[in-house]
Structure 1
Amino acid sequence: MATGQMTVTGIGAVTGYGWGTSRLWDGLRSGKSAATLVPGYGRDHDETVWLARVPPGGDAADGASRSARAMRAAAREAITDARARGWTPGRRVGLLHAVVLPEAEEWRQFYLGDGGRRRVRDYLALMPSTPVSMLMQEYDFHGPAMNVSAMCASGNAGLLTAKMWLDADVVDDVVFLATDLSLTPENVDHFVRLGVGVVDTEPLDACRPFQEGSRGFAVGEAAVGFVLTRRATDSYLTVLGGAMTHDAHHLTSVDPALTHVVDCVHEALRHAGVHADQIRYVNAHGPGTQQCDTAEIAVLEDVFAGQPAIYSVKPLAGHCQGAAAAVEVAATALGYHHGVIPAPPTVAPGHRRLLDGATPITGGITLKTSLGMGGHNSAVVLAPPDHH
């Protein structure tokens, strides 16, 4: 049984839809992909491809890179939002930052453009500790501050780490951020060569989670911020609990036995103190690849007897890599707030429990699964803010 309930009381977001949580919600609610045609990609950097890339913006004072500016903007929006909802920072505010490929563009420039030499101050901006430290200084926070990384499951990993901090009374509140603005031409090319990234057509045509004809995912970027607390506020979401396991099987493939994926879901339910028949929705990892679709449908059928409705927002926001799970948790939180699940429209025959487009929601518990490349399995159990 979980030690206590953690709520999301502030949200900030920078995504392919633009800067701000309202842009994310309006984009998801529209049922249209965030991806646009972007030139300068491909193996020879001469192709125009579909990417859900974060557009220019932000405050130059927050850093030279798109990544630093997006991370600070998402954090600032989440903190401002939380304060407007009644949150007052406690004495011990911790900071968790989920990253997988931090400052990819700046490291590329450091080696290819700067010849490996920079002013010391500019070099320090490349370190993953720097944006964390700068944010702690901005808000005069003095709790623990660290980065977490679990590939595409990093968002779930950060939420679970934050809950452990709160359960252990290490902090009073946590600001949790997930940032991944790593779409350099080389990174995109390698996802395409792996056979999972699809950039040659509009995402809703190619990325069809749990539907016939799906080819993979559109590659995306995002920075997302949450303020997490146990104290009474006007919250978006309650995080009841969750779990992580590891396949220890292959660098890119899910173990076909699914033993540890299923164990992860059972353990998440146990930790959250809920039964399988209480899960109403599955907000899936859903990248549109055959092996992930197969794994998550098996969980839906074997653990939940095919009862919950299932959806994935990756056809809309793109696969935002290290920030993917955080974007998808934000979609659930905003869905509870607005009374609508922002599921994408279906474009082909699919699973009988797959939601087709925006769907009214009046409550119910959601399971959020994320499967990170290399064998990272994760699941968090999410409920409306009034859940007891």
Structure 2
Amino acid sequence: MTRPEPFRQVPVRPAPAHPAPTGRRAARRDPVVTGLGLVTPAGPDTASTWAGVRAGLPTAAPDPALAGLSVSLSCRVPPLDHPMLRRRGTVRLDPVDRFGLVAADQALARAGLDPAGWDGSRVAVVTSGAAGGTQTLDQAQARIAGQGPAFVSPYFLTGHLINMVCANIALRYGVTGPALATSTACAAGTTALGIARDLLATGQCDLALVVGAEAAVNRLYVTGFTQLGALSGTASRPFDTARDGFVIAEGAGALVLERPEHAAARGARPLARLIGYAATTDAHHLVAPDPEGRGAERAVRAALADADTAPGDVGHVNAHGTGTRLNDVVEGAVLRRVLPHRPPVTSAKGALGHTLGAAGVIEAALTVLALTERSVPPTAGLTDPDPGVDLDVVTGVPRPCAGPVAVSTSFGFGGHNAVAVLAGA
């Protein structure tokens, strides 16, 4: 089959590979992470997700809803039973909103925050996603085709639009500060972290609830990724010689970021600090990464400069690690150039699959847990490391963190690159 060839832009002159430090950390204090929550195929909460990822347990399985397609493998969230979903107004919510609300509720509980008592004008919500409410869209399309326009639910748009995870969270918790929805494909979760960091730094809020949520496991999206040759029909194998694509997944992650003074004033114990962030764009191709990884490399170097951190201080990397032929080779080359001391590398997608626009927040939360517990999880599905990737990828069992600083990378269709640098509290 001939793969589609999206529009290609004219060559862009690469920027310097070694950006000068921005001085950001000298100007203001880094936000702290005080809470996190996870809803993933490994479990409906943080504890079960972390246990599954640390055990290196793959969650990919044949999906009856995808039967008959060329690829019918997915990573689904197990049934949810959470008090949040028994509240009034949740019956008509799309799964993506349900995932986001449950993850957010977990994060607030972990942070010891009671929304009933906060000043909502000093709180921000920043969400990430790529597809919006796909189940709601499927149902509306079926009704208009089979029964006519009059049978399309008036709740269609509020269930499908990509900003509705953000709107539902703000409405549920009385947030009247900035509420923003980001969509930079598979980099969106890390983009959301960067936006939240800047809202805190500029004084627009005292705390920010960052939520990445995705529920795009449906026949149309799976067909689209299959037509691009991006999906595996067998397993998620990041950095493995036999890798042949990613496994599509659903889920949500949430982090509470706070100005350190705000957290200290209420006696909150920080879990980690967000000390650096950067974003770049390849301007190379709509779906393929720059084969030399120039944009990704600039993002990693700029994030380290923003963090005022030397490459040698990085103790481990939570890699984008999709398991596609191109991404893993390009990312491996970038990490070898920027981090020649070869810190341990892990990819959560071996266990959880690829949650698209939610991946950056989910993986940042896992990075916080790794720093907190000083344990880097293994990469599930990796049995035969590709010598062409040439990274020190953690396999089999967890490995102790090699230092208190970690890098989390996210790269998305459209050439979006976003990198976060996190440090132990």
The question of a shared fold, defined as TM-score above 0.5 by the shorter chain, is answered with yes
Residue type matched to 1:51 in 2? S
The question of whether the paired residues in 2 share the 8 Å contact of 1:280 and 1:307 is answered with no
Residue type matched to 2:218 in 1? T
- Equivalent-residue separation in structure 2 for 1:107 and 1:368 (angstroms): 32
The question of whether the paired residues in 1 share the 8 Å contact of 2:316 and 2:403 is answered with no
Residue 110 to residue 121, structure 1, CA distance change in 2 (3 Å) = closer
The question of whether the paired residues in 2 share the 8 Å contact of 1:284 and 1:369 is answered with yes
How many residue pairs get aligned? The number is 376
CA offsets per residue over residues 68-127 of structure 1, 9 Å max, x none? 211111111111111179xx8555000111121000111111112344443434543333
1:309 aligns with 2:344: yes
Which secondary structure state, in structure 1, belongs to the residue aligned with residue 299 of structure 2? helix
Residue type matched to 1:212 in 2? T
1:32 aligns with 2:57: yes
- Equivalent-residue separation in structure 2 for 1:131 and 1:354 (angstroms): 34
- Equivalent-residue separation in structure 2 for 1:369 and 1:122 (angstroms): 34
Kindly report which structure 2 residues correspond to 1:11-22, keeping only aligned pairs within 5 A, or say none. Answer: 11-22=36-47
Kindly report which structure 2 residues correspond to 1:321-360, keeping only aligned pairs within 5 A, or say none. Answer: 321-345=356-380, 346-350=382-386, 351-357=390-396, 358-360=398-400
Partner of 2:9: none
Residue 376 to residue 131, structure 1, CA distance change in 2 (3 Å) = closer
- Equivalent-residue separation in structure 2 for 1:122 and 1:106 (angstroms): 6
Q: Sequence identity of aligned pairs in percent?
A: 29
- Equivalent-residue separation in structure 2 for 1:355 and 1:131 (angstroms): 34
Partner of 2:135: 105
State which of 41, 47, 52 in structure 1 corresponds to 2:75.
Answer: 52
CA offsets per residue over residues 293-328 of structure 1, 9 Å max, x none? 121111122122242221211110111111111111
State which of 226, 229, 247 in structure 1 corresponds to 2:258.
Answer: 229
Moved more, 259-268 or 60-69: 60-69
Which secondary structure state, in structure 2, belongs to the residue aligned with residue 308 of structure 1? coil
State which of 164, 185, 191 in structure 1 corresponds to 2:225.
Answer: 191
Could you say what the CA RMSD is over the residues aligned between the two structures, in angstroms? 2.1
Partner of 2:416: 376
Runs of 4+ in 1 over 6 A off after TM superposition: none
The question of whether the paired residues in 2 share the 8 Å contact of 1:11 and 1:81 is answered with yes
CA offsets per residue over residues 330-363 of structure 1, 9 Å max, x none? 1111122233211225311343512123112364
The question of whether the paired residues in 2 share the 8 Å contact of 1:13 and 1:223 is answered with yes
Residue 349 to residue 138, structure 1, CA distance change in 2 (3 Å) = closer
CA offsets per residue over residues 164-200 of structure 1, 9 Å max, x none? 101111111001111111110121122122112112x
- Equivalent-residue separation in structure 2 for 1:96 and 1:301 (angstroms): 32
State which of 105, 110, 113 in structure 2 corresponds to 1:81.
Answer: 110
The question of whether the paired residues in 2 share the 8 Å contact of 1:175 and 1:228 is answered with yes
1:175 aligns with 2:209: yes
Partner of 1:277: 312
Instruction: Tell me by how many angstroms 1:158 deviates.
Output: 0.4
Partner of 2:404: 364
Kindly report which structure 2 residues correspond to 1:181-260, keeping only aligned pairs within 5 A, or say none. Answer: 181-199=215-233, 201=234, 203=235, 207-230=236-259, 231-232=263-264, 233-260=268-295
Residue 66 to residue 354, structure 1, CA distance change in 2 (3 Å) = same
Instruction: Tell me by how many angstroms 1:35 deviates.
Output: 1.9
Partner of 1:160: 194
CA offsets per residue over residues 39-67 of structure 1, 9 Å max, x none? 1315x45x783211123324254242222
- Equivalent-residue separation in structure 1 for 2:62 and 2:405 (angstroms): 37
Which secondary structure state, in structure 1, belongs to the residue aligned with residue 63 of structure 2? strand
- Equivalent-residue separation in structure 2 for 1:208 and 1:119 (angstroms): 40
- Equivalent-residue separation in structure 1 for 2:248 and 2:177 (angstroms): 34
Residue type matched to 1:247 in 2? D
The question of whether the paired residues in 2 share the 8 Å contact of 1:300 and 1:306 is answered with no
- Equivalent-residue separation in structure 1 for 2:44 and 2:149 (angstroms): 32
What are structure 1's unaligned runs of at least 5 residues?
Answer: none
Moved more, 210-219 or 96-105: 210-219
Which secondary structure state, in structure 2, belongs to the residue aligned with residue 19 of structure 1? coil
Moved more, 124-133 or 292-301: 124-133
- Equivalent-residue separation in structure 1 for 2:163 and 2:73 (angstroms): 32
Residue 344 to residue 258, structure 1, CA distance change in 2 (3 Å) = closer
What are structure 2's unaligned runs of at least 5 residues?
Answer: 1-22
- Equivalent-residue separation in structure 2 for 1:30 and 1:309 (angstroms): 17
Which secondary structure state, in structure 2, belongs to the residue aligned with residue 324 of structure 1? helix
Partner of 1:297: 332
Which secondary structure state, in structure 2, belongs to the residue aligned with residue 240 of structure 1? strand
Residue 89 to residue 226, structure 1, CA distance change in 2 (3 Å) = farther
Q: TM-score, normalised by structure 1?
A: 0.90
